[in-house]
Structure 1
Amino acid sequence: MKHILTLRFICILFFISTFLPASAVTLPAIFSNHMVLQQNAEVTVWGWGKPGEPISVSGSWDNQEVKTSPGNLAQWSVKLKTPAAGGPYTLTVKGYNTIVIDDVLLGEVWLCSGQSNMEWSARAGIDNAQEHIAQANYPSIRFFSVAHSTSDVPQQDLKGQWVVCTPETMTDFSSVGYFFGRDLHQNLKVPVGLINSSWGGTPAEVWVNPNIIAANPVLAKSAAQREEVAWCPVQPGKAFNTMIAPLIPFRLAGALWYQGESNANAPEVYAQLLPTLIQNWRTQWQQEFPFYYVQIAPFTYGGTEEWPRLAEAQFKTLQVPKTGMAVIHDVGNTQDIHPRNKLDVGKRLAAIALNKTYGKEDIAHSGPLYRSMKVEGNKIRLYFDHTTGGLMTKGKELTHFEVAGADQKFVKANGKIEGNTVVVQAKDVKQPVAVRFGWENTATPNLFNKAGLPASSFRTDDWPKENQK
């Protein structure tokens, strides 16, 4: 009799769990109060629920319900159309239970990622920190900070929540991200959402899907040679799996990237790695969003050419569609790998976005970028893109130019601005064939355009390092 009663009790429990509703619908952390959704877009909202549970999702901007139900993996997703910037609105998800997300704004959403210079906050120390902190009252700017974590496999959720920009929240947020977002907000007059997913010291490999690295022999070999360190992961995909994958497919306006210092020991590999990362993210999001990045600042790395060669790899990445590069060697610090001037870095990234993404063509977004050269006797004439307003020097004479003949031995050269070109020569090189500009770890050259933006370092040759004497 006892066994019969036990069996009946189990059957009753099974009946209840099978046929009665359960409060099952849930959302990932990226959907929380104070969030920003991309305006004028088709945004994806997703989560989990009981298989077969009827679910409806609606935004108060139009109150149009979109219905779905989870499959056998308890996952669901819907797409909502958003109008132009505005708010606050509510986002409502109804299943057996109801979730209402309050204070939702529609605006521009940007992902900020990289290593320590992107992660760097006002609390860590920036120029004029107290002034910037006190002024950081922007109710229409919102922050989401992704906690550090790692995994061997892609995760579905992460820890974090959206917060309103205040002096208290700005203090611990990415300073570069904040200054970027502030300029966007002030110029576009729309809400801005910033997602900071960065980790100091990380090489770029950890931010790429590990399967992509494994499929590329060059990238896989380079990654395998990395030694473990105490302060961050170094293995491919470790941060991607936990700090990027759970954000997909949250709709973005674009991505910002400030990283490269930890890859300076292998710049030739980075020339493949950064475009691979960009393509990987765009493929995963199924969105060719703009990707704007910082060309790292000069620093005493220990060798002689780590910085210019890594900067060259970043320069070459401009060949990837919808990319832009902020040059910052004039606001760096050759003795500190963490320059404290984050204001100009954020503003230069914002200028790129305002010009290239938002169509404000009157905003200069790039310093001079080398285009081509022409040998003229014992001189070489250099041509540039982005000579906005003409070329100029900050100082009496141009610095950091070198020329070489066929012997591949570079010597210091004199430079002269002629219109939108620069003519260089060295008295000991009668038949010059190549030019280098800013080609040393601590170079802080002084060629600018009249918009005040610095020229990127470059070289006109492709000679291996070991050939130079």
Structure 2
Amino acid sequence: MVLQQKPARAVVWGYGEVGAVVTVTLGLGVDIISSTTVDINGDVGIWKVVLDPMDYGGPYNLIAQQNIKGEITSIHLEDVLFGDVWICAGQSNMVLTVSAIFNASQELAKASDYPFIRLFSTARETSETELLDLPSVSLEWSIPTPENLGHSDLTYFSAVCWIFGRHLAEKLKYPIGLVESVWGGTAVETWSSKTALSTCGLSEVPKEWPQSCSDITASHYRQCGYSKLWNSMIHPLLNMTIKGAIWYQGEHNIVLSPNLYNCTFPALIQDWRRSFHEGSLGQTDLNFPFGFVQLSTFSKNSPNANVPLIRWHQTADYGYAPNPKMPNTFMAVAMDLGDETSPHGSIHPRDKATVAYRLYLGAQAIAYGERRVPFQGPFPETIDVSYTSSYMNITYNQELLVTHISDHIFEVFCSTGIVVTGNSQYTWVPAPAQASSSNVVMVSFKGCSHIAAVRYAWSDWPCEYKACPIYSVHEGLPAPVFVKYI
């Protein structure tokens, strides 16, 4: 396994007899590095030890020895490393394994090159109440192999999680632990605690929600009920000291409570941070870095109007991350990675390598303080409107790499009649646009007597594969969806 390195202190916990004394010893070969003793109190029989802060490296031996009335039992763990531990969570696009992506055979062949990455995957279980331990485990702590990286398309191990961790290991040159807790077709409400949901006014599960995680449609959507995966697949992990988390979820909320996602998702992040901080006795940072994937595409021929809405809500309606409601977050834009012929369905694009790399750039900047690493696509800074010439200049916050701009990817909220406050009729209409300088796009709105807003890429499938019109010059990161009211 991998335990969290300093400056944080790793937490080790387990079960024993009430009234016993447990001694936890960390050793390197025959040398004892540290030894900590704790009494088992209370009525549950859980003990918890905070290890001394450790530099990255290993392998160490970890021994937990219980002494109750002179009777001694012990558990020995070997090949324990210290490095950074990341949680990877979400639904099916995070579930999709390495065997299911583009260039899978090449990626699987790299597995043996990374013996200092360690993998762990929880099993898919639900619970009505918050559990202290995982009901079961899909993949015990393991060294990466082609078999456990590509076990099956929707079992383990997550391609996004693996490639993200691989990039980190290559850059940082120390061990990385990856903890996967995922279930396809699940809503954000299922992964949220009751405390988090209450901040968004959610207390009772809607009657239309089935109360089990059985398949309910041909597209394998599951509605497991509020908090049921939080209870069984996140709450048992809270004692862990972690570096951060990455998240790929939101597709299910296209059809379930889409208008609440700008509250439920930020609330989940805030609640996970507080819970991991408290569960680890303050060792996990209260503001630990949290990365997420903005939704890719859903359907090209039958587009869903809620897809761009969820993309917008994923940023708490700011359009970018980090932002005032979501500090210390980073986002990988994926709307340019549509994969219409994916054998897993077009909602599951196979280019997970690009997704993971964009997340990795965000982690470099936010989690590891590499402030010169570009990790955000271009975003509007100012909008200047000229009614005399019927155009607006949108000035972006960085230099643009602009290809052909289609006549429909920009839209304006247009009124063609006389503007009367509170009585004007506005409709969204396509607006031709062109680059007018290195960081300015000029959008025309001829025929509109007044415009109330402008938006970009507000559609399910806004462009073809890696062919959106606006990218950053550095790293070629796509400009995210936005809507700006004027």
User: Any conservation in 2 of the 1:399–1:446 contact (CA below 8 Å)?
Assistant: no
1:87 paired residue among 36, 58, 68 = 58
Counterpart of 1:7? none
Give the gaps of 5 or more residues in structure 2. Answer: 67-71, 152-156, 216-221, 278-285, 416-424
Q: Which amino acid aligns with 2:49?
A: V
Matches within 5 A, 1:137-156: 137=112, 138-156=114-132
Counterpart of 1:132? 107
Q: Work out the CA distance in 1 between the residues paired with 2:311 and 2:227.
A: 24
1:255 paired residue among 245, 269, 273 = 245
User: Any conservation in 2 of the 1:257–1:292 contact (CA below 8 Å)?
Assistant: yes
* SS of equivalent to 1:139: coil
Counterpart of 1:9? none
Q: Work out the CA distance in 1 between the residues paired with 2:82 and 2:337.
A: 34
Counterpart of 2:97? 121
Matches within 5 A, 1:197-208: 197-208=181-192
User: Any conservation in 2 of the 1:140–1:164 contact (CA below 8 Å)?
Assistant: yes
2:458 paired residue among 439, 448, 465 = 439
Q: Which amino acid aligns with 2:470?
A: L
* SS of equivalent to 1:315: coil
User: Any conservation in 2 of the 1:219–1:269 contact (CA below 8 Å)?
Assistant: no
Per the TM alignment, residue 233 of structure 1 is displaced from its structure 2 partner at its CA by: 4.5
TM-score, structure 2 length as denominator? 0.82
Q: Which amino acid aligns with 2:22?
A: I
Per the TM alignment, residue 362 of structure 1 is displaced from its structure 2 partner at its CA by: 3.4
Q: Which amino acid aligns with 1:294?
A: V
Q: Work out the CA distance in 2 between the residues paired with 1:304 and 1:122.
A: 28
Q: Work out the CA distance in 1 between the residues paired with 2:382 and 2:14.
A: 52
TM-score, structure 1 length as denominator? 0.85
| RMSD of Structure 2 on Structure 1 (CA) | 2.1
Counterpart of 2:311? 311
Per the TM alignment, residue 423 of structure 1 is displaced from its structure 2 partner at its CA by: 1.9
Per the TM alignment, residue 57 of structure 1 is displaced from its structure 2 partner at its CA by: 1.2
Counterpart of 1:235? 225
Per the TM alignment, residue 148 of structure 1 is displaced from its structure 2 partner at its CA by: 0.4
Q: Work out the CA distance in 2 between the residues paired with 1:295 and 1:180.
A: 16
Q: Which amino acid aligns with 1:226?
A: W
Cα distance, 1:107–1:461 mapped onto 2, change above 3 Å: same
Check if 1:190 corresponds to 2:145.
no
2:48 paired residue among 62, 77, 90 = 77
Q: Work out the CA distance in 1 between the residues paired with 2:450 and 2:331.
A: 33
Q: Work out the CA distance in 1 between the residues paired with 2:19 and 2:382.
A: 62
Q: Work out the CA distance in 1 between the residues paired with 2:5 and 2:150.
A: 27
Q: Work out the CA distance in 2 between the residues paired with 1:296 and 1:325.
A: 10
Per the TM alignment, residue 367 of structure 1 is displaced from its structure 2 partner at its CA by: 0.9
Which digits, 9 at most, give the CA deviation of each residue in 1:362-402, with x for residues without a partner? 322111133442223322222334x2xx1012336676011
Per the TM alignment, residue 422 of structure 1 is displaced from its structure 2 partner at its CA by: 1.9
Which digits, 9 at most, give the CA deviation of each residue in 1:167-216, with x for residues without a partner? 22211300000110000000111111000000000111111113442x34
* SS of equivalent to 1:111: strand
* SS of equivalent to 2:241: coil
Q: Work out the CA distance in 1 between the residues paired with 2:294 and 2:441.
A: 22
Which digits, 9 at most, give the CA deviation of each residue in 1:223-274, with x for residues without a partner? 5543466334420111111110111120111010000000013322111110
Counterpart of 2:209? 226
Q: Work out the CA distance in 2 between the residues paired with 1:57 and 1:86.
A: 19
Counterpart of 1:384? 396
Cα distance, 1:291–1:217 mapped onto 2, change above 3 Å: closer
Q: How many pairs align?
A: 423
Cα distance, 1:279–1:429 mapped onto 2, change above 3 Å: same
Going by fraction, where is helix more abundant, 1 or 2?
A: 1
Per the TM alignment, residue 425 of structure 1 is displaced from its structure 2 partner at its CA by: 1.1
* SS of equivalent to 1:132: helix
Cα distance, 1:398–1:68 mapped onto 2, change above 3 Å: farther
User: Any conservation in 2 of the 1:106–1:191 contact (CA below 8 Å)?
Assistant: yes
Which digits, 9 at most, give the CA deviation of each residue in 1:392-428, with x for residues without a partner? 1233667601123344222221222223232211322
Q: Which amino acid aligns with 2:79?
A: D
Larger mean CA deviation between 50-59 and 345-354 belongs to 50-59
Q: Which amino acid aligns with 2:313?
A: A
1:368 paired residue among 358, 369, 378 = 378
Counterpart of 1:162? 141
User: Any conservation in 2 of the 1:47–1:76 contact (CA below 8 Å)?
Assistant: yes
Cα distance, 1:333–1:428 mapped onto 2, change above 3 Å: farther
Q: Which amino acid aligns with 2:291?
A: Y
Cα distance, 1:359–1:216 mapped onto 2, change above 3 Å: closer
Check if 1:67 corresponds to 2:86.
no
Larger mean CA deviation between 93-102 and 359-368 belongs to 359-368
Q: Which amino acid aligns with 1:308?
A: P
Q: Which amino acid aligns with 1:78?
A: V
Give the gaps of 5 or more residues in structure 1. Answer: 1-34, 463-469
Larger mean CA deviation between 328-337 and 149-158 belongs to 328-337
Cα distance, 1:288–1:306 mapped onto 2, change above 3 Å: same
Identity of aligned residues (%): 34
User: Any conservation in 2 of the 1:299–1:333 contact (CA below 8 Å)?
Assistant: no
Check if 1:356 corresponds to 2:366.
yes
Cα distance, 1:146–1:101 mapped onto 2, change above 3 Å: same
Q: Work out the CA distance in 1 between the residues paired with 2:209 and 2:444.
A: 42
Counterpart of 2:4? 38
Cα distance, 1:93–1:42 mapped onto 2, change above 3 Å: same
Check if 1:299 corresponds to 2:298.
yes
Q: Work out the CA distance in 2 between the residues paired with 1:104 and 1:90.
A: 6
Q: Work out the CA distance in 2 between the residues paired with 1:460 and 1:397.
A: 19
* SS of equivalent to 1:226: coil
Check if 1:331 corresponds to 2:337.
yes
Per the TM alignment, residue 98 of structure 1 is displaced from its structure 2 partner at its CA by: 1.7
Counterpart of 1:415? 433
User: Any conservation in 2 of the 1:117–1:259 contact (CA below 8 Å)?
Assistant: yes
* SS of equivalent to 2:143: strand
User: Any conservation in 2 of the 1:398–1:447 contact (CA below 8 Å)?
Assistant: no
Per the TM alignment, residue 53 of structure 1 is displaced from its structure 2 partner at its CA by: 1.2
